[in-house]
Amino acid sequence: MRRRDVLAVPAGAMCGVAGCTGSAFERHKARDTRNSRTVDSTSPRDSSDDTDANGLESDSRETIVIGESDDVVFSDAHPPHELAFRNESGTELPVSVEITTDSGEVRFERDLDIPATRTLHVLIVEPGSYTVTVTANTPSSGESKATIGIDRCPFDCTESRTTVVLSENGIQTQTSSRSITCPEPQIGETSIELLEQGCATRGDVDGATVEFANETVTVTGRITTSTPCSEPSLAKAAYDDRHDALTVTIGRGEQSGSGCIDCIGIVDYRAQIDLEGRYPGRVDVYHETHDSNRLVGAAESESE
């Protein structure tokens, strides 16, 4: 069942994304810093006489937030996408808003009554591709419908906004964006775990796979060693800002204990590198050999 909300409070001021210090995104960040909750757009409060540059009444404290900020990895590098619904008609307008993901999941579905000269702000917090469907009814033109596609890319180190103007003549939309300073990946704690040891067979070869999850790069692989009792080491984890690449080098390690079987070893391992800022664009994994390092695996970050 759809839920109908009456927007009975003024909403935030409108301005272009570039240089917009009063945007709902900036206010949302400020609220997160203070650990205060987002106020629902239907909560009654005292009205303000403030107006924005277009003469619309405004109040900077009311925003609908879709998604959980805590679920966004490297949130400073992935600002929300802001939707601003501006009612420029001379009367209250009933508006239906549906927001779905590219997989068809409905993330937001409401019927809203937006008073005349008011603006409703909606923040889509979690990065992804979305489709926004807006349906409005005006006394003069009847039902108008607009479909807005939001790509995944604008969430990456970009502040973006889609303005939906509701008027007597129908619906108009415009999307604008600006790049922000992208934080550099910073290496935090690192670790390597021994998974399995044994004698190498003819079909065993070195290799590694890379996974990006939970602000951590995880490398799972197998390395050839001089004995099956060798314990691999995380010899290097370094970020190169010129190539936006993280280099991970796994060492052959030292033999642990005595009485090891006399054979060439093959050792499975899992290495983890915690990051701050954002994921690198690429991760290259090397294994130490007798006389050099050999590339055994590489992966690109999906968010870049």
- pLDDT, tens digit, 9 for 90 and up, residues 150-186: 987 766 888 999 999 999 888 999 999 999 888 999 9
Write 93-98 long-range contacts (CB < 8 A, 24+). Answer: 93/136, 93/137, 93/138, 93/166, 94/136, 94/137, 95/134, 95/135, 95/136, 95/166, 96/2, 96/133, 96/134, 96/135, 96/136, 97/122, 97/132, 97/133, 97/134, 98/132, 98/133
pTM above 0.75, yes or no: no
- pLDDT at res. 196: 95
Residue 32 has pLDDT above 90, yes or no: no
List pLDDT tens digits, range 42-68. Answer: 333 333 334 433 333 334 346 899 998
Instruction: Give the pairing of strands 265-276 and 93-101.
Output: unpaired
Residue 221 has what pLDDT? 98
Average pLDDT over residues 35-39: 34
* Per-residue pLDDT tens digits for 290-302: 888 999 999 998 7
pLDDT tens per residue across span 56-101: 333 434 689 999 888 898 988 889 999 999 999 888 889 999 999 9
Higher-pLDDT residue of 50 and 249 is 249
DSSP string, 195-251: EEEEE--TT---EEEEEEETTEEEEEEEEEESSTTEEEEEEEEEEETTTTEEEEEEE
Strands 3-6 and 64-66: unpaired
If we measure between CA atoms, which residue out of 42, 41, 38 comes closest to residue 30? 38
Percent of the chain with pLDDT over 70: 78
Asked if pLDDT for residue 22 goes beyond 50, the answer is: no
